[in-house]
């Protein structure tokens, strides 16, 4: 099946890839001395945009940016246009177009995004993607490319081969089921060796994945991973430079000890691509999200303390009394010591963010120059390690949950769209997170959060839904029949949901 028909028949679930968006690329540029265009005024192109959730989420936050989404599948482009219309996003144009047809006449862009495309297209389209980067990227532009990588995919490829073989040439509706069935047999019977190891390493994760992901990775006609050095070499041939990974902490803090780090540095002789390729061998890398620039980046991260003042930071932290450390409440990561005051303040205003400049001016009234320098050093570490969320924009969100919770108008429209189009896009937040919705009840419950009902009233609406047979509360595989139990479970469900929506910045 050709690519256009494939995605027309099986549209790909569209969601946000936060690290592909210009806010992230812009900060990566700053770290390596490339001054990108400010995202809120940028021209952005997403190639292979699918149903467009990623670029639409960015457009909603930055109405002055100029955005274009391109995809080969007319069905996905028409859904993207419908979503755009429902959300009232005026600054995006979705165009059905083949990547092969795009050249410099198509326009100039400050950011180009290609997520989930490169490894799943033929070599001529791969070359065309780099041609687009070369011809359509502005002077200080930044391109984002994600792709499957070797050596990690050498193993996964075996699983793909096995599942494809089981399905043969016959197109079947239960490809995934048949494929998993064979893997299950092999898991129980394969003799010790590479296949057994690969199945043992991947099976449990694989069977939990979304079917559209499995179809895309394991059953699409093309999945051709590359070594990082091969992709970087194509970039170089197109006049582009490797900036860093979109998750730059992996570039800045490679997971090797100091001795090995030094040995690899010596072997690589300052060639960052060669160095990172060795790291990929060490970690058995399966996927990369790489940023490329036309401008030449610095070889090392260079952070001027005064530049940190321009950032806004956010996060939710808990103090672990036993170990006497702060931990990130979401990721449980241990935070560096000596910054408790910042973590307390951030938790207090969470999910809003805080101006670093303002916080430091206040600190300066009570701290010595040396202490302030140490604070900046820690802050630079937090930025490089991505242990705290850094933004260049102020996010003013509610600091408390209102008595009558209200979702933003766009979020309500988004839920309605998701319901109508059977979950084809994720429920995405203004902070670029994807939230899992329970289709049985959230599709009905969330639109009721329009600021006219308190938790009790929302809970009683949920009880009505339960009574109408839309869903049931279940305890240990048994449907709950007791009315007072149903009421208390409904109230707890609504409370948790509102709490979650608040934390992810959905409430207005
Ligand atoms: C796996 S989907 C990824 C969609 C989206 N970027 C994401 O990550 O959710 C790959 C997308 O690339 C598009 N595509 C494949 N070949 C293309 C081509 N030659 N020109 C334009 N789009 C193409 C497909 O239609 C599909 O929407």
In which element (H, E) is residue 70 found?
strand 66-71
Q: Is 215 exposed, middle or buried (0-12, 13-18, 19+ CB in 10 A)?
A: middle
Maximum average pLDDT range among 166-175, 229-238, 396-405: 229-238
Crossing angle of helices 152-167 and 194-206, in 10° steps, is 80
Taking CA atoms, 348 is separated from 216, 250, 260, 391, 400, in Å, by 42, 30, 41, 18, 10
87-108: average pLDDT: 97
pLDDT at site 399: 86
Among protein residues, the one whose CA lies closest to atom 3 of ligand 1: 116
Average pLDDT, the chain: 94
pLDDT at site 26: 98
Query: 145: Cβ below 6 Å to ligand 1?
Result: no
What string of H, E and C letters represents the secondary structure of 389-409?
Answer: EEECCCCCCCCCCCCCCEECH
Among protein residues, the one whose CA lies closest to atom 9 of ligand 1: 14
pLDDT at site 213: 87
Q: Tell me the C-alpha distance between 457 and 500, whole Å.
A: 18
Question: How far, in Å, from the CA of 69 to the mean position of ligand 1?
Answer: 11
Checking if the pLDDT of 1 tops 60, the result is no
Q: Any residues with CB less than 8 A from the CB of 447 and at least 6 apart, and which?
A: 407, 412, 415, 416
Q: Is the peptide bond before 351 cis (omega within 30 degrees of 0)?
A: yes
* Phi-psi region at 12: left, alpha or beta (left = phi > 0; alpha = psi -120 to 50): beta
Let me know: does 69 contact 46? Beta carbons within 8 Å. yes
In which element (H, E) is residue 200 found?
helix 194-206
383-393: average pLDDT: 95
Checking if the pLDDT of 293 tops 80, the result is yes
Q: What dihedral do alpha carbons 87, 90, 91, 93 form, nearest 10°?
A: 90
Could you please state the CATH topology (level 3) that the domain comprising 3-150+225-293 is classified under.
Rossmann fold (3.40.50)
Q: Is the peptide bond before 359 cis (omega within 30 degrees of 0)?
A: no
400-407: average pLDDT: 96
Checking if the pLDDT of 141 tops 70, the result is yes
pLDDT at site 279: 97
Confidence of residue 169 (pLDDT cuts 50, 70, 90): low
List, for residues 7-39, the tens digit of each pLDDT value: 887 788 899 999 999 999 999 999 999 999 999
pLDDT at site 105: 97
List, for residues 437-464, the tens digit of each pLDDT value: 998 899 999 999 999 999 999 999 999 9
**Cβ count near 321 (within 10 Å):** 7
Q: Tell me the C-alpha distance between 227 and 276, whole Å.
A: 11
CA-based nearest residue to 450, from 405, 401, 392, 506: 405
Confidence of residue 326 (pLDDT cuts 50, 70, 90): very high
Query: 218: Cβ below 6 Å to ligand 1?
Result: no
**Cβ count near 120 (within 10 Å):** 21
Let me know: does 73 contact 104? Beta carbons within 8 Å. no
232-252: average pLDDT: 97
Instruction: Report domain extents, the chain.
Output: 3-150+225-293, 155-219, 311-391, 409-504
Residue 196 corresponds to which tokens in the numbers above? 């057994």
pLDDT at site 343: 96
223-236: average pLDDT: 98
222-229: average pLDDT: 97
pLDDT at site 2: 62
Mutate to test the pocket of ligand 1, among 21, 48, 73 (most ligand atoms within 8 A of CB): 48
List, for residues 105-119, the tens digit of each pLDDT value: 999 999 999 999 999
Rg over alpha carbons for the chain, rounded to the nearest Å, is 24
pTM: 0.94
Residue 38 corresponds to which tokens in the numbers above? 């400010």
Checking if the pLDDT of 196 tops 90, the result is yes
Question: How far, in Å, from the CA of 168 to the mean position of ligand 1?
Answer: 25
Query: 73: Cβ below 6 Å to ligand 1?
Result: yes
pLDDT at site 115: 98
């Amino acid at each position: 099946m050709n690519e256009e028909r494939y995605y027309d028949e099986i549209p790909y679930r569209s969601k946000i890839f936060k690290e592909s968006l210009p806010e992230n690329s812009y900060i990566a540029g700053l770290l390596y001395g490339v001054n990108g265009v400010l995202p809120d005024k940028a021209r952005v192109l997403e190639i292979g945009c699918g149903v467009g959730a990623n670029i639409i989420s960015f457009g909603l936050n930055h109405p002055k940016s100029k955005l274009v989404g391109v995809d080969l599948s007319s069905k996905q482009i028409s859904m993207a246009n419908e979503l755009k219309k429902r959300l009232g996003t005026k600054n995006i144009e979705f165009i059905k177009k083949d990547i092969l047809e795009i050249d410099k006449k198509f326009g100039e862009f400050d950011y180009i995004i290609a997520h989930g495309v490169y490894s799943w297209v033929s070599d001529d389209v791969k070359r065309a993607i780099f041609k687009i980067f070369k011809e359509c990227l502005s002077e200080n532009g930044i391109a984002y490319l994600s792709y499957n990588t070797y050596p990690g995919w050498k193993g996964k490829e075996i699983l793909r081969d096995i599942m494809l073989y089981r399905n043969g040439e016959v197109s079947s509706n239960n490809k995934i089921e048949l494929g998993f069935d064979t893997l299950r047999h092999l898991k129980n019977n394969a003799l010790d060796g590479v296949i057994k190891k690969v199945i043992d390493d991947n099976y449990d994760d694989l069977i939990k994945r979304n079917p559209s992901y499995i179809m895309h990775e394991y059953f699409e006609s093309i999945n051709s991973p590359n070594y990082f050095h091969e992709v970087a070499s194509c970039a170089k041939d197109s006049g582009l430079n490797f900036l860093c990974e979109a998750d730059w902490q992996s570039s800045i803090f490679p997971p090797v000890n100091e001795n090995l780090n030094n040995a690899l540095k010596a072997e690589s002789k300052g060639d960052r691509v060669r160095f990172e390729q060795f790291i990929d061998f060490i970690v058995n890398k399966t996927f990369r999200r790489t940023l490329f620039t036309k401008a030449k980046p610095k070889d090392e991260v260079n952070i001027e303390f005064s530049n940190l003042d321009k950032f806004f930071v956010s996060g939710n932290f808990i103090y672990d009394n036993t170990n006497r450390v702060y931990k990130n409440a979401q990721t449980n990561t241990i935070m560096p010591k000596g910054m408790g005051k910042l973590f307390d303040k951030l938790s207090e205003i969470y999910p809003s963010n805080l101006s670093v400049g303002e916080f430091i001016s206040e600190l300066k009234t009570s701290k010595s120059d040396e202490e302030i320098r140490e604070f900046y050093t820690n802050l630079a570490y937090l930025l490089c390690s991505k242990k705290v969320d850094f933004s260049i924009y102020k996010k003013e969100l509610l600091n408390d949950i209102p008595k009558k919770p209200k979702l933003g108008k766009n979020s309500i429209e988004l839920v309605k769209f998701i319901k109508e189009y059977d979950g084809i896009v994720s429920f995405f937040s203004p902070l670029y997170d994807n939230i899992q919705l329970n289709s049985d009840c959230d599709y009905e419950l969330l639109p009721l959060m329009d600021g006219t009902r308190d938790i009790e009233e929302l809970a009683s609406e949920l009880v009505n839904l339960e009574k109408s047979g839309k869903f049931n509360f279940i305890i240990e595989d048994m449907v709950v029949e007791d009315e007072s139990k149903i009421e208390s479970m409904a109230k707890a469900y609504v409370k948790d949901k509102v709490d979650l929506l608040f934390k992810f910045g959905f409430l207005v």
